[in-house]
Amino acid sequence: MSRMRPSNSSKENLRHVAGLIARIQDVEPPSGLTDAVMRRIAPKRLGWPQRVLRRMRTPFALMPTPVVSAAVAFALVAVIFFGVKTYIDARDTGFYGNGPAVSGAETITFVLEFPSAQKVAVIGSFNQWSPEGFQMRRAAPQAPWQLILRLPQGQYTYAFLIDDRELVPDPRSLWHQADGFGNLNSTLIVANGKQNGNDS
């Protein structure tokens, strides 16, 4: 298959065009042309609703880093700590003691007016005369001391231990009995949902 060769006239035309192109002078573009062109092709700034919508539609991957993991762990520990502290504070300000967890137990409120005491506990036959976990509390410095216990039905003897050294019977109790050591104990009878021997 033979190749076509350009004719002499075609060659002459190509030479003429090449000469014209070679004689074109370099001219600087007018000032501001580049900025005008870039403004025409630059993307328009979207309003904030469109930006929010676009952001919501764009998927993203959350890559855990040591800093993020440490922050999450710290937040969880803080939540657990403050949750436990809130529970303990609520229990303390509610004046609840460590009474025996027995079904059918009755709620008994012990109250003592003793403003000069620094600490008060309820001790008796229901806690083997131990003050641990049976400390009374008060809502304000001059408020009465209080403790709420859940006690099953039965008869109990008790007293208030003032500042770990002085035993005081309940002045609100109707019945008292000597303990054989020179002290008086109060008597509490819990029966049929009623609290006898104590007018609290």
pLDDT level of residue 194 (50, 70, 90 thresholds): low
Say which residue, 40 or 51, is predicted with more confidence. Answer: 51
Evaluate whether residue 17 is within a structural domain. no
pLDDT of 4 reads 60
Domain that holds residue 90: 66-95
Q: At residue 116, does pLDDT exceed 80?
A: yes
On whether both 84 and 117 belong to a single domain, the answer is: no
| 178-190 CB burial, b ≥16 within 10 A, e <16 | eeeeeeebbbbeb
Please indicate, yes or no, if residue 149 is contained in any of the structural domains.
yes
Tell me the CA end-to-end span of the chain in Å, nearest whole number.
Answer: 125
In a domain, 57, yes or no: no
Lowest mean pLDDT, pick from 65-79, 126-140, 161-175? 65-79
Please check whether residues 131 and 174 belong to one and the same domain.
yes
Is 38 within a domain?
no
Does residue 103 carry a pLDDT above 70?
A: no
30 belongs to a structural domain: no
Q: Report yes or no on 23 lying in a domain.
A: no
For the chain, the domain total comes to 2
Q: What is the pLDDT of residue 43?
A: 66
110 and 91, same structural domain?
no
Q: Where are the alpha helices (DSSP H) in 23-157?
A: 33-41, 48-57, 66-93
Write the pLDDT tens digit of every residue in 9-25. Answer: 777 888 877 777 777 77
Higher pLDDT, 35 or 125: 125
